[in-house]
Amino acid sequence: MVETVPTATNSPNVQLHQVGKPLIRTDAPNKAYGNTLYAGDLTMPGMLYAKVFRADRPSALIVKVDTARARALEGVRCVLTAWDLPDRLVVTDIPGQTGGKTKNTAQPILAKERVRFFNEPIALIAADSEEIAASARDLIEVEYAPFPGVFDRAEALTAGAPLVDGDANVVAAYKIRKGDTERGFEEADLVIENSFRTQVQEQAFLEPEAGLAWMDDKNVLNIKVSTQVVEHFRAIADALGIPHNRVHIEAMYVGGGFGGKEGLTIEMMLALLAYNTRKPVRLILTREESFVNHGNRHPFTLHYRSGVKKDGRITAMEVRLIADSGAYSKLSPYVLLYATVGAPGPYKVDNLKVDSVVAATNNLSTCAFRGFGTMQACVAYEGQMDEIAKSLGLTPLEVRQKNFIHTGDRNATGQKIESAVWSEQCAIQALEALGERAKGNDVVKIGRGLACYQQSYGRIRWFKDSSEAWVGIEVDGTVIVRCAVTDIGAGQSSSLAQIAAEVLGVPMEKVVTYFGDCTLNPLAGTSSASRALYMTGNATKMAATKVRDNLLEWAGRHFQVPPDDLQLVEFRVTAISDPARSMPIDELARRCAADGVHRHHLAMFKAPTSEGLDPETGQGEVFPDFTYGAHACEVAVDTETGEVTVLKSVGAHDVGQSLNPQSVAGQIEGSALMGQGFALCEEIIQRNGVLVTPSFSEYLIPTSEDVPETKAIILESRSGLGPFGSKGMGEPAFAPVAASIANAVADAIGVRIFELPITSEKVINALARKASGQVKMH
């Protein structure tokens, strides 16, 4: 169910014809009919099948890898180990950026001297059939020698802990020093201190990693793959030692990414095998392989100390964060930065101290995942808000209203918030939408939870992010958008079609978006960081506007009216002052072509930049802008069994401007369920680094039978930096969900569970603690 609330706008005169309408997405029909080909559907004549041999332990020295028997097996075409690869094989640390690399993120493609995490890849195999490749994998023998590992993030930071790599297990650390926390705590009437813990979450996208690679007759290495980032072509070329223009990556429609396909997925493995065999090679990971192949969500320990006045105003906040990066740092420094900057949430905290660190361990790697550090902080700061409210006898909404950050205020790093901040409206609407409260009884208790958030969209400013797009109009009035954005299921390519259609006045069916191709399309950057629509949408709008200007200039001359008297709608150009002066757009395009008018344009959109943070105070500008909103839910808790049932789940978000309300609702509804999984049942569990939840039998995501009544409320301030004033929505919709469920459970049973996921058993234990008086009362 979707409700759109069009409200005050920055540019009240815009009249949108296609943007903001729930048009049928260009990718939808073929997906619904099963016609869409995904990377794993592709085949080629003479194709080989790949398999990956992985370590069976989390920490060890590799004494010897014996591949002789595997190589000797009939039908095996290639077996590669680290010894077959040149030493320069490392990966970039900032996916999609133009060449950014830091040495501490170097990760071997295949383990050589040491195994640092469970199931680290050791060898690659290509064979005539999948079965032969699998048999060859069984024939590889590795001789290991013991090597101590460290599996606890706090322990990893103690002196004498086994080192994962280099000379320290600190992957990154940040601090924020703002105002005077000592004075702030002195002024406080009450100080509330709590520790929260969040778990490792698996992205669980529908489509596991898959791809097909081959060398073509131009000696170009082609890779069709399921990825969020086509710009990895550079890292692959560097690794192979071939020029960048000889690696051509095409991202197919992707069956979900959520950050799990932001780092290299399997492109490098495919590249190495195809390059070495000169044959097409296909690799499709099983679900179990997928679990260990990409980095999951960082687990965090979050310690919060908040000082408040009796009226609920926060006077000081002290935060300590410890995250676990697993064996290789990947994007950990950035995830930690997001958590650090996001630590106070959507609240104005003038006296703030944050210390954060991310530790290397021999656990599975963690990396990008929707919410990217910020959502973990949300679980803690929103838990704190409710604990404060409870102690002061305020409602959760009241205590938040006292502290919300507003437009013009400065956030944790001193950055001025320029766009609208509608946290309050969103919170009120979300709570209202819960409607009448369900009835509980002696055993089943009903609770409600609210959570607000601040989530950035767009990349870190000092990445100097940019995006390009090309728009052209054909002489029959059809439009082409070329943009190497990856379409990861959120409707990225469709949104660009909708933007071009709006600007050029053609129906959306007349637009085709060519996407995901790193060579034939202008580069657009990643589909990550809630940046795709913001960045590529702006680039597309700029390019389309230039084409429109060219067409209107010609039409103005033709109709003898100024160009700004002309409108392009419903496939016609028409003079507003004299509607008789009008022609269909195909005729316009044809006549422009005949007169040599430029009918296409390549545009680049550049995000605002900065030069980084002051390392001592953490002050500076980190993100382009932020999205604000709220999630509210109602739960029923069976106090005898501990079962938690989410009854209603409502997301209300200021999206700036919704391009397609159906897609926005899709983000909100999907987030409601993904967040519910994080709150209640999803957990990657490792015992001494060994994964004990290796498949969907043990790792439990919510099923269709767990879906609560869900509602999406869309507010539009039109104040964002994206096209038509839009803001990013991919991550924001997810950010507050788990926190709101945790708050609802605490509301229902009168005691908080500080460690996610909130399983039935934890509920029973918390209730037992409460009954025995072991819970501190404020």
Which positions lie near other proteins, rule CB under 8 A? 130-131, 134, 286, 640-643, 645, 680-681, 685, 692-693, 695, 697-698, 700, 702-706, 759-761, 764
Q: Closest distance between other proteins and the C-beta of residue 55, in Å? A: 18
DSSP 8-state assignment for residue 508: G
Instruction: Kindly tell me which of 582 and 760 has the beta carbon lying closer to other proteins.
Output: 760
Instruction: Kindly tell me which of 614 and 640 has the beta carbon lying closer to other proteins.
Output: 640
Q: Closest distance between other proteins and the C-beta of residue 709, in Å? A: 14
Q: Position of tokens 């021999």?
A: 362
Q: Position of tokens 């081959």?
A: 214
Helices of type H across 437-580: 492-504, 532, 538-559
Q: Closest distance between other proteins and the C-beta of residue 692, in Å? A: 6
- Residue 227: strand, helix, or coil: coil
Chain centroid offset of residue 601 CA? 30
Q: DSSP for 150-191?
A: ---HHHHTSTTPPPSSTT-SEEEEEEEEES-HHHHHHH-SEE
DSSP 8-state assignment for residue 91: -
Residue type at position 1 = M
Q: Closest distance between other proteins and the C-beta of residue 8, in Å? A: 41
Q: Closest distance between other proteins and the C-beta of residue 641, in Å? A: 6
Q: How far apart are CA 210 and CA 221, in angstroms?
A: 17
Q: Closest distance between other proteins and the C-beta of residue 39, in Å? A: 19
Which residues have C-beta within 8 Å of that of residue 195, sequence separation ≥ 6? 301, 302, 303, 304, 754
β-partners of residue 604 are 468
Residues belonging to the chain: 778
Q: Closest distance between other proteins and the C-beta of residue 466, in Å? A: 43
Do 577 and 561 touch, CB atoms closer than 8 A? yes
Instruction: Kindly tell me which of 135 and 411 has the beta carbon lying closer to other proteins.
Output: 135
Cα Rg for the chain, rounded, in angstroms?
Answer: 27
Instruction: Kindly tell me which of 471 and 681 has the beta carbon lying closer to other proteins.
Output: 681
Instruction: Kindly tell me which of 210 and 547 has the beta carbon lying closer to other proteins.
Output: 210
Q: How far apart are CA 147 and CA 120, in angstroms?
A: 15
Q: Closest distance between other proteins and the C-beta of residue 640, in Å? A: 5
Q: How far apart are CA 24 and CA 27, in angstroms?
A: 8
Instruction: Kindly tell me which of 206 and 580 has the beta carbon lying closer to other proteins.
Output: 206
User: What is the CB-side half-sphere exposure of residue 571 using CA atoms within 13 A?
Assistant: 13
Instruction: Kindly tell me which of 323 and 756 has the beta carbon lying closer to other proteins.
Output: 756
HEC string of 386-406 equals HHHHHHHCCCHHHHHHCCECC
Instruction: Kindly tell me which of 7 and 703 has the beta carbon lying closer to other proteins.
Output: 703
Residue 402 CB neighbour total at 10 angstroms: 20
Comparing C-alpha atoms, which of 352, 347, 311, 342 is closest to residue 184?
Answer: 352
Angle at which helix 737-749 crosses helix 760-771, to 10 degrees, equals 40
Instruction: Kindly tell me which of 114 and 137 has the beta carbon lying closer to other proteins.
Output: 137
Q: How far apart are CA 111 and CA 121, in angstroms?
A: 6
Q: Closest distance between other proteins and the C-beta of residue 695, in Å? A: 8
For residue 281, CA distances in Å to 69, 85, 144, 673 come to 21, 18, 30, 36
Instruction: Kindly tell me which of 68 and 685 has the beta carbon lying closer to other proteins.
Output: 685
Q: Closest distance between other proteins and the C-beta of residue 646, in Å? A: 10
Residue 77 CB neighbour total at 10 angstroms: 21
Q: Closest distance between other proteins and the C-beta of residue 208, in Å? A: 13
Cis preceding linkage at 396, omega within 30: no
Q: Closest distance between other proteins and the C-beta of residue 205, in Å? A: 18
Instruction: Kindly tell me which of 156 and 204 has the beta carbon lying closer to other proteins.
Output: 204
Comparing C-alpha atoms, which of 530, 539, 542 is closest to residue 484?
Answer: 539
Instruction: Kindly tell me which of 460 and 684 has the beta carbon lying closer to other proteins.
Output: 684
- Give me 237's structure tokens: 């070329």
Instruction: Kindly tell me which of 560 and 697 has the beta carbon lying closer to other proteins.
Output: 697
Q: Closest distance between other proteins and the C-beta of residue 672, in Å? A: 15
Do 263 and 231 touch, CB atoms closer than 8 A? no
